[in-house]
Amino acid sequence: MKQELLKSDLRSQRSLVEERLEHVTDIDAYQTLHNKILEVRDCGEVTFCIAARTTSTSSVKALLDDFVVRFNFFGLADGWKEIDLVAAKQIVSEIIFRDLAHGTQMTTGEHACLLAEEFLGIFEQSRFFTNAIFENGTLSTWYPVSKSTFDTGVVCLDDTKIGILWVQDED
């Protein structure tokens, strides 16, 4: 039963990704990266999307909130923390490398870093945002965007695209 639900969730996430990518180039490359991440991170829920950035006169944090609510997440308003590329790479690598609930390793650190670089490399002259603070590679404080016990990731924003790589884990 649980496996059936996981397969259903995976199918619905894939169709959501395809729907969000319709106006973005390199759809096949993005879908391939998404599949590589799902192959490695086979627990919890993974939200992955690259979409064309809509022109908006609202604030960046309002733009982030508008984007994440598409995935049934809560907006954070001023709770978004802007981070630099180094911190974004550390967070994305960490959420691919191990689960948030138990710290179980899912791949090598090197492989996680390569996937993180591939994801972050999609964006040019970007800004990066998260909900969390990591200490010594471990999630220590966060503003939840979901009803899951643990959730974190990175939302990336450049002049033409917005993207998310987010994970949710249960204890």
To the nearest 10°, the Cα dihedral for 59, 119, 108, 46? 60
* Total domain count, the chain: 1
Q: Which of 4-13, 50-59, 90-99, 158-167 has the lowest mean pLDDT?
A: 4-13
CA angle (110, 167, 119) in 5-degree steps: 50
Distance separating alpha carbons of residues 96 and 40, to the nearest angstrom: 7
Task: Work out the pLDDT band at 26, boundaries 50, 70, 90.
Answer: confident
Q: Which domain holds residue 101?
A: 2-169
Q: What is the pLDDT of residues 47-76, one digit of tens each?
A: 999 998 876 667 899 999 999 999 999 999
- Strands of the sheet containing 161-169, edge to edge, are 45-52, 161-169, 150-157, 127-130, 81-83
Candidates 18, 110, 135; CA nearest to 152 is 135
Whether 2 shows a pLDDT value over 60: the answer reads no
Distance separating alpha carbons of residues 128 and 84, to the nearest angstrom: 6
Whether 81 shows a pLDDT value over 90: the answer reads yes
